[in-house]
Amino acid sequence: MIECSVCHSKIATSSSSNSKTISRAYDRHRSHGSSRFLNFVLVGGDCFLVGFQPILVYMSKVDGGFKFSPVSVNFLTELTKVIFAIIMLLFQARHKKVGEKSLLSISTLVQAARNNVLLAVPALLYAINNYLKFIMQLYFNPATVKMLSNLKVLVIAILLKMIMKRRFSIIQWEALALLLIGISVNQLRSLPEGTTSFSLPVATSAYLYTLIFVTVPSLASVFNEYALKSQFETSIYHQNLFLYGYGAMFNFLAILGTAIFKGPGSLDILEGHSKATMLLICNNAAQGILSSFFFKYADTILKKYSSTIATIFTGIASSVLFGHTLTINFVLGISIVIISMHQFFSALSKVKDEQQSGSLEMADSQESQRSRDASFLNVTAGANEDASHRVNEEEKRPLLPV
């Protein structure tokens, strides 16, 4: 048996894979009212945090570069998230019901660590992606970075279909294609002139970073959603503790590697930081915590579309604060993206999925009805057999001697 992460209903796993069963359970119950309210809260918070992040990154740059180590920001971010997970576990431990096992007991922590070892994979990918975020800021303005990050939606959809067995209607695939077109419209003529320290043309290196920037976090998001939803019985704060613990470990190893090549001075993780970078660390930590709720209680596609909405805020804010021009390409691109988002989540695009879910429910109902009918027939047949049975002389004799 496996349980839906949204409504906690159980489904038998028979011969189908766990990933397909998880996807089916989620599809059946994603339209519940409580789920819609949670999605609304998640999208609202994500729009604010994701939209404000590129602004903070841009404010952290000095003379077009960073005075601090991006790896140190990532390490401090993961450390902040680990502290938050521990605080929430302590809070839950104090309010546990009578008879419940403590979330902080050694046996519970060891069992949770064994069950969630897969979280090390997205943690490593996130560590790489967090560094790439700073690299991308050196080639594109904040609004364009957000538009490029929306390319992840198409890659994520393909990975979800391959790994999670998620189903998408034709209209939804068309909406994702329309999203790609909108991003491409905004991307036109957004690269600055010049060369990089690798002696490569800016366009070549920027597109290379873009390819990695899109693929790595897409893999991380899908693996993260699979790991969180496959271990539904584990507290999300346990899972966050391990995920962020792995992330802090990988970033600390990166700091040690940097110290080997650049000297012991790079071990000072607070060097070059300012108020803007402290706000950036808090923003990144809150964004990561919110993402874990997206992956466990909603889905990755919704997370990426909410980031698309944040693009509007990023573009307007970067124009007001830094004087970046909102070109006609950006206006047309974001308009196409909004149309794509409406098309993807419209009721018409979900008809096929709902029919599939309905057919699944009808099949389950028919199977249950057949079982009840078979039981009734067996009882009836037994009653008829008893009624038609003729008692002979041997059966009338007492079993015990009189």
Mean pLDDT score, 117-122: 92
Q: How far is CA 26 from CA 220, 298, 348, 352, 353, in A?
A: 20, 9, 19, 15, 12
Residue 300 burial by Cβ neighbours in a 10 Å radius (0-12, 13-18, 19+): buried
pTM, 2 dp: 0.70
The pLDDT assigned to 176 comes to: 87
The pLDDT assigned to 81 comes to: 94
Which residue in 75, 24, 1, 5 sits closest to 235, CA to CA? 5
Which residue in 50, 48, 70, 52 sits closest to 61, CA to CA? 70
Q: Are 307 and 150 in contact (CB under 8 A)?
A: yes
Please provide the distance, in angstroms rounded to a whole number, between the alpha carbons at the two ends of the chain.
Answer: 55
Most confident of 76-90, 253-267, 334-348: 76-90
Mean pLDDT score, 369-392: 55
DSSP letter string over 211-224?
HHHHHHHHHHHHHH
Q: Are 11 and 4 in contact (CB under 8 A)?
A: yes
Which residue in 222, 203, 185 sits closest to 311, CA to CA? 185
Per-residue pLDDT tens digits for 130-170:
777 767 766 666 656 666 666 777 888 889 988 888 888 89
Most confident of 66-75, 119-128, 178-187: 119-128
Dihedral over Cα of 371, 377, 379, 385: its sign: negative
Per-residue pLDDT tens digits for 5-51:
444 444 444 444 565 555 554 554 454 545 778 888 888 888 888 88
Per-residue pLDDT tens digits for 49-105:
888 887 888 788 777 677 877 788 888 999 999 999 999 999 888 877 777 777 778
Phi and psi at residue 179, in whole multiples of 5°? -60, -45
Tokens of 225: 């959603």
Q: Are 182 and 334 in contact (CB under 8 A)?
A: yes
The pLDDT assigned to 121 comes to: 92
Tokens of 315: 């573009």
The pLDDT assigned to 54 comes to: 78
Dihedral over Cα of 259, 262, 268, 274: its sign: negative
Angle between helices 120-137 and 142-149 (to 10 degrees): 150
E strands, 12-142, are none
DSSP letter string over 281-349?
HHHHHHHHHHHHHHHHHS-HHHHHHHHHHHHHHHHHHHHHHH-----HHHHHHHHHHHHHHHHHHSTGG
